[in-house]
Structure 1
Amino acid sequence: MRKYAFIALACTLTLALASILYICFNSHDAFSCKSQYDLTEEINENVLRSQGLLSAEFSNHRLIINLEGLLTSAGR
């Protein structure tokens, strides 16, 4: 009976250690940032203005860039 208990304990500890190592090596930190922006540009007497929020997130080898805002145009 002790022999089976020792084998079960060894298997349990091995699986726990393997799970911990797998999680440590395969989990990646995520990087994200947010910034407000305000752009004004004049093209052929038209003034274009854009305001909003720029956000970027990098995780699991994916880069997501999001632009939220308002674009206005005013002619002279």
Structure 2
Amino acid sequence: MGGGPVEGSALRPRPARSALSRALATLLGLMAGASCVAIGLWLVPHLRARRVRHDSISLARRPRVADWRGAEERT
């Protein structure tokens, strides 16, 4: 019974990737990460601006307490 790896098993060493393919894979990963960061940096301020705009509209429609007090004093 031999102690070496069996022929056709998963223990067979894989052929090493070339430096060019490794560099291309690294570059592709970096570009994908950078695009995700760029989309996030662009999207977050837009979402915040939309939320602030809704708050300002609802605050503008709601009468202030000072306006109610002034109306009571006028009548």
TM-score range, shorter chain: 0.3 to 0.5
Q: With structure 2 as the length reference, what TM-score do the two structures score?
A: 0.41
Structure 1 or 2: more helix by fraction: 2
Structure 1 or 2: more strand by fraction: 1
Q: Which has the larger Rg? A: 2
Higher relative contact order, structure no. (Cα contacts within 8 Å, ≥ 6 residues apart): 1
